[in-house]
Structure 1
Amino acid sequence: MTSGPQPSVTSGEHNCLMAETQIRSPSTSTKKHKNSTNWLKAHLCQNKLTFGLCLSLVLAIAIVISLLFLYILHTRVRLDRQLCLTPECISLAADTYNAMDIAVDPCEDFYQFACGNWDKSHPIPEDRNVRSSFESFVNDVVDLYRELLRKPILDTEPDAVRKLKIFYQTCVSADRDSPAVENATLDLLLRHLDRFGGFPPLYGERWKPKLSLERLLAELHVKFNTEPLFELKVAADDMNNTQHIILFNHPSVFLQASAAYESKDEIDAYLKFMVSVAKSLGVERTLANHEMQRILNMETALANSFETRFYFSTSSSESIHFDL
């Protein structure tokens, strides 16, 4: 097989081809180098991005853990602040726990669960008809007052405190029934009575009122907190709490309930006490019996009337009367 004649290449053309080859070769090498450099940059960028993401994730986890720790710490501190661990709180908690009957299911009988052991540990005394935890608190306060009043009287104490201690210690002293103490008490009582015109049975028909009835009632109310005929005070209106009303109410009678004035035993004991006071003030026995009986009759009538009637006034010119 023969081929056609091959074109001949002159020496000049050969030199041109070699030069072109030499010129093209550096261009191809440069392109490969650039591609390699770009890949390296991309790889480094990817590594940096991966590292940044990992670092951000670690920081986020650390922040979440720190916040969770701070929340738990804050919650514990808050609970510790709210939790009372004083001896008084611990004692009260123990009393509450001891009153509970934890053997009972609270869903079945909550009252028995909460108070089941109270009746067992706090029986009602024979001389009482009720017993509660509030009575224990009141007794504790009374005991505290008693200890305070028994302490020596100091000149540096307020005048009201010294008078209260003197009054209490005089009442509980062993010589409280001595003639000297009784005479001093009677003299003090008579001086107070003289401020209001004296004790009428002592003067008989010679007695004349020193003060008007209005002035007498006002003096008794302001200086002795005593309201023998009616109670008068300013109070919030139950129908409209934006205004106040003048309230009239029944007085605090000695025997409290009107039923007590129907009990012969209580009436006799009360009358005997009244007569003994009148006699101590110097009233003759027969006159004392007569005058004290009149006073008792009036007090009984007042107690019976106040049991079924109630008055209050909304203004100085308007009054309302209720029959209960």
Structure 2
Amino acid sequence: MGYTMRIGTIEVKMDDQQVRSCSKRPFILVGILFSVSIIPTIVLAILYANEKNAKPTDALNDICLSPYCIKAANYLIDSIDQSVEPCEDFYQFSCGSWLKNTKIPNDDLLSTASTNNTTEPQFLTNARTLYRSCIDEMKIETDGVDAILSLIDKNFDGWPILQGSSWNSSAFNLTNLLLKLQQYSYNIIYLIGSFTDEKNSSATSIYMGQASLGLLQRQYYENETNITIAYRQFISNLARTLTNDTSMIDQDVKEIFDFDKNISKYHWTVAEQRARNNETVQTTVGNMSRILNTTFDFKNYLYRAYQFGNVTLNDMDTVSLHEIDFFKQVSALIDKTSPRILQNYILWYFMMDQAALMPKNIRAIKEKFERTIRGTSAEQPRTTECSSLVNTAMGFAVSKLYIKKYFDENARNESLEMIENIRNSFINILDKSTWMDNTSKVKAIEKVKEIEQHIGYPDYLGSENNTKLENDYAAYVFDTSYIHNIWKIQVILSIENFQLFRKPVLRKQWETVPPTIINAFYDASKNQIVFPAGILQMPFFDKNAPKYLNYGGIGMVIGHEITHGFDDNGRQFDKDGNRIPWWTGETIEKFNNRKQCIIDQYKNFSVSQHLFIQSNGDQTQGEDIADNGGLKASFYAYQNWAKNNANIDKKLPGLTNYSAEQLFFINFAHVWCVKMTDSAAFNQILTGVHSLGEFRVTGPTSNFDEFDRAFGCKSGQGNSRVKKCVVW
């Protein structure tokens, strides 16, 4: 996955590029929505008894009345719209109601004091300090903007838009300015960092590529819209709030936007990055200047950047150059641009994030712009926002609290069993494929067998020994200043990434994502799947759930992540995580023909109520292939389980008209029940590598013969395609 997001103001753009470069593919939960109110057992029994062909006495024998089954029946009953024919529109059938989004109950983990009589570990004390500094809005108001203005003037030589004609350009030095911001984890114009070497997964190389745009994607700049107007207004309003000298603001805003727009002309979209991956060049630090051939001295830039992490580069160190023509075109553009415009643009990129750290009147300016992007006025509670920030910054520390309070250890063992069943199911899919030649098929099966899994959390989090956590978070010592705490984190992250270059690759180590994340991941460079504790909960998984619900929920996620090893990107990596040719040319050609069917199919999807918003099949192809393959692998695994465990799964109260297989599909669809504004849908289609939730349901089910059989659909009905696209 390659996606761009800002959590709080912790810069995670580098991580986004890392995700793309090492092919770590998250599941991305657009909407996990369900109701948690419980219908009384007796009411459900009556509902069950009144169903067609049901007898009152059946409720005592065939119905599951456990607390979990009651909850599950409730959220599915609330979700299903029975006035819709499932064979015509399965998404609308499964997702008829507006449901609340589930999340890990994390607010109380940090706001409440430790109840343990023993002394709390220092890393947890520091996490609570960070959280308190975030929620202390009175202190943020009192501190005002002095800290940020001082940092700009003393460290970055000022923001011209605030200083009018008094700004002095004589001291401007582009390299120095970019390096100073790099120390705060800001990759502006150019992105650099340490990532797993794609050609040699046992080593780390330097990654160089394009950084993000202010509006994230090139398409936003192509026409004047309410978004571009709001973007310029954001710059203007922020500047006017921070200075009394407004003499040059209008001109500066125009020049900042125009420069950003000019950069965007050379910026590769996500779809172009996928399609042009073969244009990546691996070389050495000493040789890259010859390849790039720009006036900007990238070799000097890299040497000095890594020195901040106390890492000394040499000319033979490996560097992977991505989006090379971007470097050439933008470097030429920079050569023709004045120091004032460059200084204004680079500081704006920094300040648009810093706005979220400042007093409420300035945060409101940023929020107004973001509402234009999202198309909604809803704001997260401050406690939720701060919990999310701490989880991003110190996720493994927070996880120490979470797994002790919420995680059921039985989830690990049952998940392991499901992974093996679904792995075997996918192997069977590979084995039965008629388009792969035997050489490629044997290697593919070997790769599936070699996939390593991590479930729940790394073992050290379950230990009473906190040495690793104390060492990992030794530098995370905070005070009462929220903005200074965030800057400290950003500096730590920058140093850690540079130092990663000289550290050995630990292929068996748990991923960098904390266990509290409600998501799942595949890392092609490690051939590894990760299922954090956060996702092992309703509606994805529960140890007491009927297996048809678990396989339709977390089972599909497991299948999805396994299939990522064989999507358009993952299939390029061998079992050891190296991007090398390991399929025959004939098999690759047939794979490409099959994936093109998926691409074309998803390109024709459009948001039902707004037909002008169409999906981008080129951009979402990897996730679409994984969705289709994952659903099949999990369904076949459930079928095999059911054959060997007859009459174990009981029916859900109020839903006994539906078979176990139908409920498998219904729970799968329920995961993607989500309402989105037009702006949010447009933004996801433009910038995301995942299809909208509606398409993640209708695409895989309409391509699957077993769905047609389960619901009695006829070929050609709305949710049953005549021409089905099948990769796996």
Higher share of residues assigned helix: 1
Larger Rg over CA atoms: 1
Answer 1 or 2: higher relative contact order, Cα 8 Å, separation at least 6: 2
